[in-house]
Amino acid sequence: MTQNPYLWLIPTLPLAGAAINGFFGRRSSKTAVTTIALVFPALAFALACWIAVSFSSSAAPYVFDLAHWIRSGSFSADFAFYLDQLSLVMMLVVTGVGFLIHIYSVGYMADDPSYYRFFTYLNLFMFFMLTLVLANNYLVMFIGWEGVGLASYLLIGFWFTKDSAASAGKKAFIVNRIGDFGFLIGLFLIIQHFGSLTFTDVFAKVQSLGVESSAGLLTAIGILLMVGACGKSAQIPLYVWLPDAMEGPTPVSALIHAATMVTAGVYMVARSHVIFERAPIALTVVAVIGTLTAFFAATIGITQMDIKKVLAYSTVSQLGYMFMACGAGAFSAGIFHLMTHAFFKGLLFLGAGSVIHSVGGEQDMRKMGGLRSYIPWTFMTMLIATAAIAGIPPLAGFWSKDEILWKAYEANPVYWVIGAITAFITSFYMFRLLFMTFWGDYKGIKVDDHGHAHAAHDHGGHGHGEPHESPMVMLAPLMILALLSLVGGLVGIHNGFEHFLEPVFGSEFPKAIAEPGNTEWLLMGISVLFSVAGLVLAYVLYVSKPYLPEKISASLGAFYDAVVNKYYVDEIYAKIFVKPLVDASTSILWQGVDRKVIDDSVNNAADGARHVSDEVRHMQSGNLRSYAGWIASGAAIVIAYMIWRGVGQ
Amino acid sequence: MVPLSYYLVLSGILFACGVLGFLIKRNIITIFMSIELMLNGVNLSFVAFAAHWKVLAGQIFVFFILVVAAAEAAVGLAIIIAVYRTRETLNVDQVNLLKL
């Protein structure tokens, strides 16, 4: 353990940016807002790079205690930061990709009236995300965890005057609460049994326990943590919020809902690997959920027509891969894929944003096509990213995906089979996206038709003729990310990445990090073959014989309808969970408890008092003799009573 | 010697007359007189008991009552005069401003 007094600055810098823009941004000039919004994440990124350069494995982990927070009996939780190889990777990804997306947003959001608000939220998100990855204990991590949820909610609903955006934000927030509930219960279990939430303390105590042969405490904690991860990282059954989250501005989709926040669940599971390694059942749950999600979301991705929705389901599917890796015990492979995914999926979203920008806010791929010649730079970078996610060697996605599939094969060949099929589907739907968007003829409306049905929500202002290339401020981040997608996977050669993370993941169940043998070469060959097959199929269906897809979808009939409608999962959830909940709340809690019990008890008490008073006030008739009569009869009753008592004695 | 019960019966009759007068009469003056009648009915029972039990306390009480009744009569008659001046009637049924 080494002290590193600069650690706390990394999350705090973006917070300062958020505070300045949040308080003064409304009255500042746009240049000032841009400067503040970019300088602070840039400083954080520079500092992160400097810390990374001076990082030495022998001195790790670095820690820094910023302030006391909770001291209660033997329990304590401080505002403390922790940096080891794992959080270093996360920190660099978050600050690096985050900074690039900030730059991109300057171009993308240039015409938005709430420019300053956007960057306030974006900086705030950076703060919470960095808090999450640099936390020294689960409680500080939970602050970041909830904070990124808040930032996500604010940014999904950024155009809150649009009803769909506001309800998508609510949906994301509520679905995440379900996951957070599991996470919190898991934390309570940890406090109860280990008396601490600090990573090093908890893991030291867990290490004294053996591997659980049947479901026990660690299994329970593991599964509860996984419930939290399912919510944040959009896994079955809680993935439904992520596709709707595409209502937010595209840079938000890139930063929060592809590159960083949604990977928080993977990070959390990897961080808790000590617990998971001792709970094989929990690991199996993680792997099964990941594998199913990967496959399930990929199949939905095939049928989507909205360019961002395709990418959203692709993100869900890729996150499934990461969980598959974690579940197979290959945490470093999961983090590796997390990193490469941040590059190419961030790039894909930014590219999609550039495409949407160029065609005036249209998101339906059927109205695009032939954009290759109009926006060559966007096309080039998108091509690289698509090849990367499809797993074409030697791009980034190939290395990480191949490593996951290999590790999954070692754990259980079934995972590998589903994973490989998913790789094929992934390659197919990604090239489908590419071909539909960039090949063929442009099907959009070329003449200036602003103010019509598809008038851009995120692209008002200037008129549209031909699709046009985005400004340099948007293209530069695309190019840098494209470069990273090209070469980012090379750190995985000869297990370089795995060796780097070994101090975190490999210390206690020493599995020799195997060099690829014959099986691995074969598996790699098959998965590359699958990727190419996906490419070829997409080419046949969408470029050479573009009339085929409709025929195929028509022949599939009801099944195709089910997939287009996302297997009706939203509808099923609405029927099973939402509607009963709303109905029960309406009939029992609102009409029953609130109106019948609480309101009525108040109203009836008042009504009763009034009724009694109405009756009793007739005694005060103003007639003097009736008063006297009341007094006389009252006295008579009292006297009669006393006589009766007297006689009784 | 006249037995105690005679006094008490007379006292009760006086009191009942007072109550009855109070209840059926409309003229404030008559009602006022009925009150005095009730007071004196009570006074009679006090002195009767005092004489019978040979205890002075009852007699003394009667003096107090007489004093208070005199004061009350002064205040009461003043009120009656005030009422008559403002409302020009002594009928209690028409003195009902405080009615709801």
Please choose, from the candidates A341, A427, A440, the residue with its C-alpha nearest in 3D space to the C-alpha of residue A391. Answer: A427
Instruction: Please give the average per-residue pLDDT across A62-85, as a whole number.
Output: 90
A154 vs B73: CA distance, rounded Å: 83
Q: Which of A620, A624, A629 sits opposite B100 (nearest CB)?
A: A620
Higher pLDDT, residue A362 or A465: A362
Q: How far apart are CA A561 and CA A556, in angstroms?
A: 8
From B86's Cα to the closest Cα of chain A, the distance in A is 18
Nearest C-alpha of chain A: how many angstroms from B51?
23
Enter the tokens of residue A483: 């470069």
Chain A residues with CB-CB distance to B under 8 A? 617, 620-625, 628-629, 632
Please return the burial class of A193, using the count of CB atoms within 10 Å of its CB with bins 0-12, 13-18 and 19+. Answer: middle
What's the whole-number mean pLDDT along residues B14-37?
91
In angstroms, the CA A597 to CA A248 distance is 42
Phi, psi of A166 (to 5 degrees): -65, -45
Contacts of B26 in chain A (CB under 8 A): 625
Would the pLDDT of A132 be above 50?
Answer: yes
Strands A2-3 and A75-83 turn out to be: unpaired
Mean per-residue pLDDT for A532-555?
Answer: 86
- With CA atoms as reference, the chain A residue closest to B96 would be A622
pLDDT-derived band at A563 (thresholds 50, 70, 90) equals: confident
Record: contact A624-B98, CB cut-off 8 A: no
Please give the residue of chain B at the shortest CA–CA distance from A632. Answer: B19
- How does pLDDT run across A595-620, given as a tens digit for each residue? 999 999 999 999 999 999 999 888 77
| Optimal mutation site among A621, A625, A631, interface B, most CBs of chain B within 10 A | A625
Cα A195 from Cα A207, distance rounded (Å): 15
Q: How far is the alpha carbon of A604 from chain B, nearest alpha carbon, in Å? A: 24
Q: Which of A302, A355, A367 is nearest to A467 (CA)?
A: A355
* CA neighbor of A502 nearest in space, from A493, A494, A511: A511
Q: How far is B18 from chain A (nearest CA, A)?
A: 11
| Residue B100: predicted pLDDT | 53
pLDDT tens for A411-470 read 889 999 999 999 999 999 999 999 999 988 888 766 444 444 444 444 444 445 678 888
Report the alpha-carbon distance of residue B94 to residue B86 in Å, rounded: 12
Chain B residues whose CB is inside 8 A of the A625 CB are 22-24, 26, 92-93
pTM: 0.80
**pLDDT top residue among A446 and A327:** A327
A66: tokens are 């910023």
Neighbours of A456 (CB within 10 A): 17
A622, A628, A632 ranked by CB distance to B99: nearest:
A622
Q: How far is A602 from chain B (nearest CA, A)?
A: 27
Contacts of B96 in chain A (CB under 8 A): 621-624
pLDDT at residue A549 is higher than 90: no
Better pLDDT: A338 or A494:
A338
Average pLDDT over residues A532-561: 85
Tell me the mean pLDDT in the region B32-40: 93
Of B19, B92, B100, the CB nearest to A624: B92
B92 to A629: CB separation less than 8 angstroms, yes or no = no
Asked if A211 and A280 count as a contact pair (C-beta separation under 8 A), the reply is: yes
Confidence category of residue A545, pLDDT binned at 50, 70, 90: confident
Q: Which residue has the higher pLDDT, A100 or A490?
A: A100
Helix boundaries (H) for A439-517: 472-487, 496-505
Q: How confident is the model at residue B16, as a pLDDT?
A: 92
In this complex, the residue of B23, B98, B99 whose CB is nearest that of residue A629 is B23
Contact A628 B22 (CB under 8 A): yes
Q: What pLDDT digit, counting tens, does each position of A343-360 carry?
A: 999 999 999 999 998 888
Q: Provide the 3-class DSSP secondary structure of residue A469.
A: coil
Cα–Cα distance, A313 to A294 (Å, whole number): 9
**A–B: how many Cβ contacts below 8 A?**
33
Q: For residue B93, what is the nearest residue in chain A, using CA coordinates?
A: A623
Interface touch A632/B23, C-beta < 8 Å: yes
Specify whether the CB–CB gap between A175 and A188 falls below 8 A: no
Q: Which residues of B touch A629 (CB under 8 A)?
A: 23
CA A638 to chain B, closest CA, distance in angstroms equals 16
What is the rounded CA–CA span in Å between residue A195 and residue A209? 15
Contacts of residue A125, defined as CB under 8 A and 6 or more positions apart, other chains included, come to A147, A148, A151, A152, A155, A255, A256, A261
Judge if the upstream peptide bond of residue A237 is cis by omega within 30 degrees of 0: yes
